[in-house]
Amino acid sequence: MSMEQQKELLQELSKIALRRVKELGAEAYVNANVGKEFATRFSNSEILQNYVDFRRSFELTVIYNDKQKSTSTTNNLSEESVLKLADYVTKVAKLVPPDPMYPGTLKEEQHYQNLNLNDPNAQSLQPIDIVDKIEGAIIAGEAVDQKVVGVSGNFLLSDGFRLFASSSDLELDFPTTNIRSTLNISAKESEEESRSNSNFGARYFSKLDMETESQEVAERAVNGLGAETIEPGEYEVIFDHQASSTVVVMAAFATSSMQLINRRSFLTDKIGQQVFDNNFSLDNDPHNPDLLSSRPIDDEGMATQDFPVFEDGILKNYSFSRLHAAKLGAKPKGCGVNFFGNTIGFPFAMVMRPGNKSKEDLISEVDNGLLITNLHYTNYVNPPVGSITGMSKDGLFIIKNGEIIGSAKNMRFTDELPRFLNEIDVGNELRQPTSMMGGMIVAPIRAKSFKFTSKTGH
């Protein structure tokens, strides 16, 4: 089945589902997508699997009596499966308690941006093209040092269409290409082993620089050998791109309407106030063609909008779902996203504004500190004060007198976002790490003080 036929199938199935829901006395909307997917896995510098298939997803949200809502998904794109889904989701919607503040099905006319979110060359790609790119990454990683013992990871390219359709006659489909890759590289000396990792993406196949990424990951793995144990405490730190993206997600999550509704955000009632250093600026930029999370429509059918989240450290906007906007007396800006079964507001298309210093410049200004490659297991421990915790990962490097002199074993941290983002500098190189929240474009961040609370054994 061709891509155009797949698209036509989505459109026909959405009509079938919406018609069935109407027959059952409710209203609904569909978020569906289909894509030709190139997927490759490689381990220990050998390609293990390389396949091409179609990815399909059909999500149906039913709204009963304007106040009761339920959502479920299938990847079986048959008429029988979609009809069963419509019956099931409508039944559940009629059983859930009504929310008197829910605004019902979106009926206002929307003006969607016409965006170019697909790589025009993706359709002509062959598996050998991807093999060549991965082999280039393997060669680049192994060439760094004889201590490199294996380049592993995965590559995923999805090229297809997304579709939104509702019983209130809102409808949009648009092409999109999404490319993501992960690299895991190990280095070994005697019995000691060091590893480093990177998750990154691009909109265009030609812009996915896996060789440079592999070289940098391999260098971190090699330089991570001989890691020493250092004492917990406050350190001046540089968050490299991957670590920076985690910090940005945690800060942005505090602007989510879900956190505001629950009164669990340290940013509650702080619009227009200085909450971070004036070097920190973050935009929601859903019309940026290079950004993987860009799109003209949110998960509720609203047209997406550009807006500043933080500007020169000042909180400019919260992010609202339609329900939360109704409850808080605000206007949504097209940033409703489905999040573990709920629709929340979140600035999902995040782009940092760069500073004017290179990462090397930032490092040269640190007398006694650490370069943090990545953070993981990062969560809020006290949301009302912005306290987060987690661990360093994939390389923690010691900086003395403006130079990296060695590596340290990972440590656990607990610190408050408004404290350690209160005195920062921002680098000028933008990159696009990926995470469960999609892609985001970020720069390195230098923070004057960051609290590590305990040691680890690795």
pLDDT tens digit string along 109-140?
999 999 999 999 998 988 899 999 999 999 99
The sign of the CA dihedral 361, 365, 368, 372 is negative
121 and 206 Cβ atoms separated by less than 8 Å: yes
- Token pair of 4, please? 């155009």
Phi–psi pair at 10, nearest 5 degrees: -60, -45
For Cα atoms 191, 195, 201, give the angle at the middle one, nearest 5 degrees. Answer: 160
Whether residue 282 sits in one domain with residue 260: yes
Q: How far is Cα 118 from Cα 160, in angstroms, rounded to an integer?
A: 8
Q: Which residues of the chain are under the pLDDT cut of 50?
A: none
Whether residue 158 sits in one domain with residue 88: yes
Whether residue 435 sits in one domain with residue 362: yes
For Cα atoms 215, 285, 32, give the angle at the middle one, nearest 5 degrees. Answer: 90
Q: What is the pLDDT of residue 404?
A: 97
100 and 67 Cβ atoms separated by less than 8 Å: yes
Whether residue 363 sits in one domain with residue 294: yes
- What CATH number does the domain containing 112 carry? 3.30.2290.10
Q: How far is Cα 282 from Cα 51, in angstroms, rounded to an integer?
A: 38
Distances (CA, A) of 68 to 64, 89, 141: 5, 11, 53
Whether residue 393 sits in one domain with residue 277: yes
Q: How far is Cα 405 from Cα 425, in angstroms, rounded to an integer?
A: 22
Q: What is the pLDDT of residue 191?
A: 87
Residue 397's nearest CA partner among 406, 388, 389 is 406
Whether residue 183 sits in one domain with residue 241: no
Q: What is the pLDDT of residue 341?
A: 74
Whether residue 299 sits in one domain with residue 445: yes
Distances (CA, A) of 67 to 89, 204, 323, 332: 14, 42, 10, 18
Distances (CA, A) of 358 to 109, 136, 212, 428: 45, 26, 17, 5
Which phi-psi region, left, alpha or beta, contains residue 394 (left: φ > 0; alpha: ψ -120 to 50)?
Answer: left
Q: What is the pLDDT of residue 438?
A: 80
396 and 407 Cβ atoms separated by less than 8 Å: yes
Whether residue 296 sits in one domain with residue 396: yes
432 and 201 Cβ atoms separated by less than 8 Å: yes
Q: How far is Cα 241 from Cα 247, in angstroms, rounded to an integer?
A: 10
457: domain range? 227-458
254 and 180 Cβ atoms separated by less than 8 Å: no
Whether residue 322 sits in one domain with residue 176: no
Domain final residue pick, 202, 220, 238? 220
Q: What is the pLDDT of residue 259?
A: 95
413 and 453 Cβ atoms separated by less than 8 Å: yes
Describe the crossing of helices 79-95 and 3-23 by its angle, rounded to 10 degrees: 40
Whether residue 252 sits in one domain with residue 172: no
Q: How far is Cα 185 from Cα 155, in angstroms, rounded to an integer?
A: 15
- Token pair of 118, please? 């697909």
Torsion of CA 160, 166, 169, 172, to 10 degrees: -20
Q: What is the pLDDT of residue 361?
A: 97
Whether residue 272 sits in one domain with residue 403: yes
Q: What would the DSSP string read from start to end of 346-379?
A: ---SEEEPP-SB-HHHHHHT-SEEEEEEEEEEEE
Q: How far is Cα 234 from Cα 366, in angstroms, rounded to an integer?
A: 14
Phi–psi pair at 309, nearest 5 degrees: -95, -55
Domain final residue pick, 220, 250, 268? 220
Q: Does the predicted TM-score (pTM) go above 0.85?
A: yes
Q: What is the bridge-based pairing of β-strands 68-74 and 148-166?
A: unpaired
Whether residue 182 sits in one domain with residue 263: no
Query: How many structural domains does the chain have?
Result: 2
Q: How far is Cα 58 from Cα 75, in angstroms, rounded to an integer?
A: 6
Domain final residue pick, 186, 220, 254? 220
